Amino acid sequence: MVAGPPQSNPKMKIATWNINSVRLRIGLVLEFLKEEKPDVLCLQEIKCANDQFPAKALRAAGYSHMAVSGQPGYHGVAIVSRLPLTEEKSETYCGKDDCRHIAATLPDGTRLHNFYIPAGGDIPDTEKNEKFAHKLEFLEGLAKRFDSRPRRKEILVGDLNVAPCEHDVWSHKQLLNVVSHTPVEVGLLNAAIKAGRWIDVARKVIPESEKIYTWWSYRAKDWRASNRGRRLDHIWVTPALEKAALSRGRKAFTIRDDCRGWERPSDHAPVILALDL
């Protein structure tokens, strides 16, 4: 028997999207799933209780496995998958049960974490703004959570509400004192990356000199023309997944910014990574 050519490793496609109300935008979710066909989609700001989550529509679309941590009207995260999910768990941070984390294990053993980090309000001052203090405490907790875990395959995705690099915002100089890009937030996010030995996939495959955004404010009359965006949505992997995440380079990483232009859109765009697993 003559052996055929070596088979390429199958790809697993992971997507993350702050949907800003999954019930309001379930049509957009279904359209995205139809177009991209990710194996797993992580959603943030689902804004509904678990029993209100549109599970029936997602099952009909082929996503029969779900892990949901929701509450009425605010926050909430979910993982929907074509692949079986096990070891589903929701963790609390800062002593608040506000549904900002959900995790599950994929069939190959990869542990997937989906986060929605607090936005932090408008004033970057912990004395004047309780929301900003909460955000900083959450980021500190993120570093502590992953600093001593065993070396395993893990992925962390979500709306982390921090744009850490100079060109992750439309104007580094003008946003230095704007929540999401302040030095204290950036420092804490980078500390979390270092503590967990995370790899920020976007900035491994796209040069730091190039501007990339995943969020554009609703306040802009023409978000595309003004293009005053920020990179708030992230995909990180542990060193055990570095080769799988980076081997195909930039073509495996996608920001679907066209979704920001859909009718009644979220202000965030979906972010996608195809891993060679």
DSSP 169-205: BS-HHHHTTSTTS-HHHHHHHHHHHHHHT-EEHHHHH
Helix (H) or strand (E) holding 139: helix 130-146
CATH number, residue 248: 3.60.10.10
Residue owning tokens 């019930």: 23
pLDDT at position 70 is 98
Tell me if 269 sits within 8 A of 233, measured CB to CB. Answer: yes
CA torsion 183-188-192-193 (nearest 10°) is: 0
Residue 95 CB: number of other CB atoms within 10 A? 8
Based on its alpha-carbon atoms, the radius of gyration of the chain, rounded to whole angstroms, reads 18
Q: How high is the pLDDT of residue 160?
A: 98
Residue 277: predicted pLDDT: 81
pLDDT value at residue 11: 86
Tokens representing residue 210 in the block: 């190039």
- Give the C-alpha separation, 254 to 169, whole Å: 18
- Could you tell me if residue 3 is inside a domain? no
- The answer to whether residue 90 is domain-embedded is yes
Measured between alpha carbons, how far is 165 from 172 in angstroms, rounded to an integer? 8
pLDDT of residue 5: 39
Residues 6+ apart with CB under 8 A from 191: 139, 143
For 30-57, the pLDDT digits (tens) are: 999 999 999 999 999 999 999 999 999 9
pLDDT in tens, 219-228: 999 999 999 9
> Which residues of the chain register pLDDT less than 50?
1-8
Whole-number Cα distances in Å, 151 to 12, 166, 198, 241 = 21, 30, 11, 10
Residue 276 resides in a domain: no
Task: Tell me, yes or no, whether 39 lies in a domain.
Answer: yes
Number of domains, the chain: 1
Measured distance CA(115)–CA(182) in Å, rounded: 20
Print the domain residue range for 73: 11-269
Tell me what pLDDT residue 242 has.
96
So what's the pLDDT on residue 10?
A: 59
